Chain A
Amino acid sequence: MKRFILKRLGLSVITVLLVCIIVFFLTHILPGDVARQYLGRGATEDDLREFRHVFELDRPLLSQLFTWINHLLHGNLGQSMQYRGPVTDLLLPAIGYSSKLAGVAFFIIVPVSIAGGVISAMNRGKKIDRAITVGGLSASVIPEFVWAILLVLVFGVIFQIFPVTAFPRRGSHDLLTQIWYLILPSISLLLVLFGYIARITRAGVIEALDSDYMRTAVLKGLSRRKAVVKHVLRNALLPTIAVVASQIPYLIGGLIAVEIVFNYPGFGTILKGAVDARDYSVLQAGVIISSFVIVLFQLIADILFAVLNPRIRQKVSE
């Protein structure tokens, strides 16, 4: 097991390293001059030269890459071009806010989606199954910002049930209130992620329902209900771990639009500001941090899957 974890850890480090290299080359190799892009057409040669010097863009490419990665290893994500201060100062508090939103969303999305998939599978071919699968996937192809705006319009503006922002005004800061404010944004994320997780869960449950071992359980004389609980769910839900982890990138991507609509000072809002100002350092750091989070969750999911799945557990402990 230890070897397995170490191996997965090694692969994760390689992935993160590759992400860093991809990101670096995206900004440095592609046709496009960062300094010119940032400063605009009006900039003089001197301005450009000075800018390049400050952000070390005038050094050889490889040496830039190495210093950059070296800085990353020390937790230094660079200097914001826009604010001329450390990117970390800008991003860290924002990430805190985003984690809170993502956390609340996650705790709503995972159980609801899995329950949807299980209900769908247990009613295979019936109307409720079609409604969950077709409806769920249809909802998932509508962008979060569209959902967010429609939700704000309906529940915030027209019916005024939920707050139209995700952030309580000064004063009331207790946890419940905070969560209350995060419900509507979480629902926009749920609508986008529900379909896929439910669909895969459904497939897993159906496979287990149709399996030979389920047949064995029924022919042993177990009632259907008992057989499902004991023999189906455990096998069917294992793969969902990987699926949920695979949705983290979409969750993070979705945060940007949702945060903007709900006026929430998170990671996404900062990135949007960076896009508008063409603040590459912030964008780069944003990509790296989100990838790091994604790889981390995938690692956790892989290990969890191996621990819970006897077939893999046995293999790795040999």
Chain B
Amino acid sequence: MSTTPTLEFRDLEVAYTVRGIDREVVRKVSFSIAPGEAYGLVGESGCGKSTAAFAAMRYLPRNGKITGGSILFEGQDIVGMSAGEINKLRQSAISMVYQNPATALNPTIRIGEQVAEVFELQGFSKSEALAKVEEALVKVQIADPTKVMRRYAHQLSGGMAQRVVIAMALASNPRLLVMDEPTTGLDATVEAEVLDLVRKLRKESGTAVLFISHNLGVIRHMCDRVGVLYAGALVEQGATEDLFSNPSHPYTVGLLRCIPRGGLHKNTDRLDTIPGTPPALGTHFSGCVFADRCALVEDKCRTTQPEMVSVGQSHVARCFHTNTAGSMPRAIDTVTVSVSQNPNRATTGTRLLDVDHLSKAFTQDGNAVHVVNDVSLQVGVGETLGLVGESGAGKTTIAKLILGLYGSDSGSHVVLDGKDLAGTLNKRDVKDVGAMQIVFQNPDQALNRRHSVTRIVGRAVQKLRGLSADASTDRAHELLSGMRVEATLHSARPVQLSGGLKQRVAISRAFAGAPQLVVCDEPTSALDVSVQATILNLLVDLQKQDGTSFIFISHDLGVVRYISDKIAVLYLGRVVEFGESNRVFQGPHHPYTEALLSSVPNIDGSIRKRIPLTGVIPSPSNPPTGCVLHPRCPRMAGSGVEHLCSSVEPALTEVEPGHFMRCHIPLDQLRTVQI
């Protein structure tokens, strides 16, 4: 019986040299992974988790270096190893799976050859290696390995590419597998498939895993033990269940609290936040790294670095207040926004927006590609409509069609407050343009980096409200301050602001013209969860105050559930389900919604039976016949209406009052099978 851990970090320190100055990114991190164990490192962006992962491979960027401590692989320090020795280890004992599988594969070499390389390094001849590739691909559940072997990276879907990378990583039968955000960027259903696969392979091979993720839900489902990183320091570590049920560091507590979990809703619950923003790379701390943002902070915390304190069996936290952390006061930003919108238009009813038979086909290489198909939606005054769906669902296109950024095809109608709007923006009058605005996903691209914050918002006020330049500037300052962008920042350029502040500026701009409806296109997906909560709170406040309606696009079902009154589920440019938020989440669901919901790894640890969605999302340029879901539908087999599913596209029908579905299977039948 061996007690040597497979991997051990001992007081590891890593620094990046930026403009001649060493900036610490990993601060005295110690942990160990036993053979066969899955250890998760979790944290927000910039916390050093990826650096730690690559350090375990002894691979750092050109400006990175290990400045202290050691990394032991099966008891051997790899920090001082020669290039040849470390190569030997990479060939046979440790492998890695990366965040972007598509770019991790060489674009000009066939897949088979790339995987074969690993076997060749182990001394197999080329032909033996190729034969082994087939086996390896079968192992990662690739159905047609010989075909995949002949392909190039760009011909694989994201999920398929990640399977290939996993096959490559496992080809050497490694004793340690490092996985760096292996499913980030993949669609929810694909992510679930990949995670299932990893879990299964791990069970078979008994490989130890270092699993890196920002997603607490994923970590919870994949790992035996978890370490929480903040600003490069390990602040808490423990067995997964223990840590999630009894978090003992204020940061872990805050992180778990600010995630919109199932059951929370904007009408009844306000989200907790973690005040402030994560520190800049390489900030120097004389005390606790989290002191600046901690609700329990004392003078001691700022001057003395706390030691790891045991809070349970092999559960430790680096804090002076481990006893009270779990019950620390809630951090709710009580200051509500003060943006007097003074809306100069009264709505005529409770219905604000009617989208009827919205369609859009783009021409690609001379062929029409129907990206949006016959979409009908309604948004009430002061209501939030959530749009969910995976890539290719047409969420953003629908938003841009409604706003008039793209012209919709004939037969489409966008009716705002009883007025049928022109298809394109330049044919709409200023008032209607100002009435519908958008907050984009990426504020770096949405804010002109050459303009000041005041100018960005002021110009929008000037154009949409028709105010003079001076009055617009005043109004812009008022708006920005109302959104809690401080006056000292009004002359700043976007690049000088943090991600959360940038998004506040973008929201201020969207509200410049006293809009009735604001489209929020993944407004928080580029932000860390602690910042996400403050933005969601802000949006909810704005809605409560002015009765603004939202169309909220997100791939994060937790967020959508929290903020939406109604949900539309999209698949391949079609609305497959539409109704009250509770209805859609509680079911009976459309088979696609069911599969989507079941694929989300829940943070509360509850295990739902996963309804797998086989195959890949078809291309909108070549959609399946009949119901577009039928080749992947989890409920078609045995439904008795298979012939209909494969030949006739179902219409969006009201299956019960206020609940619409595009499915041939009767509601009652769905209800029965979904219990």
Residue from A220, A234, A311 with most neighbouring chain B CB atoms (10 Å): A220
Q: Which residues of B have CB within 8 Å of A217?
A: 106, 117
With A215-B59, A216-B98 already in contact, the answer to whether A238 and B92 are too (CB < 8 A) is no
Per-position 1/0 for B88-119, Cβ under 8 A of A: 11111001101010011111110000000110
User: With A and B bound together, what is the CA distance between A57 and B108 in angstroms?
Assistant: 56
For B, the interface residue count at a CB cutoff of 8 angstroms equals: 31
Q: Which residues of A contact B108 (CB under 8 A)?
A: 234-235, 238, 309-310
Question: Is the Cβ of A212 less than 8 Å from the Cβ of B121?
Answer: no
* B92:A212 contact, CB within 8 angstroms: no
Interface string of B150-173 (1 = CB under 8 A from A): 001111000000000100100010
**In the complex, A211 has a CB within 8 A of chain B:** yes
Please tell me if the beta carbons of A221 and B88 are within 8 angstroms of each other in the complex. Answer: yes
Per-position binary interface string of chain A over residues 213-226, scored 1 when its CB falls under 8 Å from any chain B CB and 0 otherwise: 10111111111100
Q: Is the CB of B90 within 8 A of A219?
A: yes
Known: A221-B87, A222-B121, A224-B83. A216 touches B155 (CB 8 A): no
Q: Does B136 contact A (CB under 8 A)?
A: no
Is A314 in the interface zone, CB < 8 Å from B? yes
Q: How near does chain B come to A242, taking the closest CB pair, in angstroms? A: 15
Give residues of chain B (329-348) contacting chain A, Cβ–Cβ below 8 Å: none
Q: Give chain B residues whose Cβ lies under 8 Å from the Cβ of A216.
A: 98, 104-106, 165, 168
Q: Cβ of A231 < 8 Å from any Cβ of B?
A: yes
Query: Min CB distance, A3 to chain B, in Å?
Result: 11
A234 to B113, CA, bound (A): 14
Residues of chain A within 8 A of B96, CB atoms compared: 219
B316 is an interface residue with CB less than 8 A from chain A: no
Mask for A245-267, Cβ within 8 A of B = 1, else 0? 00000000000000000000000
**B57 at the binding interface (Cβ < 8 Å):** yes
**In the assembled complex, which residues on chain B have CB atoms less than 8 Å from the CB atom of A231?**
106, 109
User: Are B98 and A212 touching (Cβ within 8 A)?
Assistant: yes
Binding site of B, secondary structure by majority: helix, strand, loop or mixed?
A: helix
Residue of A215, A221, A238 with most chain B CB atoms under a 10 A cut-off: A221
Known: A221-B91, A310-B152. A213 touches B121 (CB 8 A): no
Contact B57 A219 (CB under 8 A): yes
Q: Name A308's closest neighbour in chain B (CB-CB).
A: B108
Assembled-state Cα–Cα distance A311/B154 (Å): 7
In the complex, which residue of chain A has the Cβ closest to the Cβ of B118? A220
- Looking at the complex, which one of A222, A223, A310 makes contact with B117 (CB distance below 8 Å)? A222
Select which of B84, B95, B103, B105 is within 8 A of A219 by beta carbon. Answer: B95
Task: Determine if B117 and A211 form an interchain contact, defined as CB atoms under 8 angstroms apart.
Answer: no
B105 engages A311 (CB within 8 Å): no
Task: Indicate if the CB atoms of A212 and B90 lie closer than 8 Å.
Answer: no
A132 to B100, CA, bound (A): 34
Measured CA separation A217–B91 after assembly (Å): 10
**Contact in complex: A235, B107 (CB < 8 Å):** yes
Given A235-B108, A310-B152, do A219 and B121 touch, yes or no (CB 8 Å)? no
Chain B residues near A238: list those with CB within 8 A: 108
Q: Which residues of A pack against B, CB within 8 Å?
A: 211-213, 215-224, 230-231, 234-235, 238, 309-311, 314
A-B pairs, top 8 by smallest CB distance, nearest first, are: A221-B91, A221-B90, A212-B103, A213-B106, A310-B152, A212-B104, A216-B104, A221-B87
> Can you give 16 A-B contacts (C-beta < 8 A)?
A212-B104, A213-B107, A215-B59, A219-B57, A220-B91, A220-B118, A220-B168, A221-B118, A221-B121, A222-B117, A223-B83, A224-B83, A231-B106, A310-B108, A314-B154, A314-B155
Instruction: List chain B positions with a Cβ less than 8 A from chain A.
Output: 57, 59, 83-84, 87-92, 95-96, 98, 100, 103-109, 117-118, 121, 152-155, 165, 168, 172
Given A221-B87, A311-B152, list of 5 further CB < 8 A pairs?
A222-B117, A234-B109, A309-B108, A310-B107, A314-B152
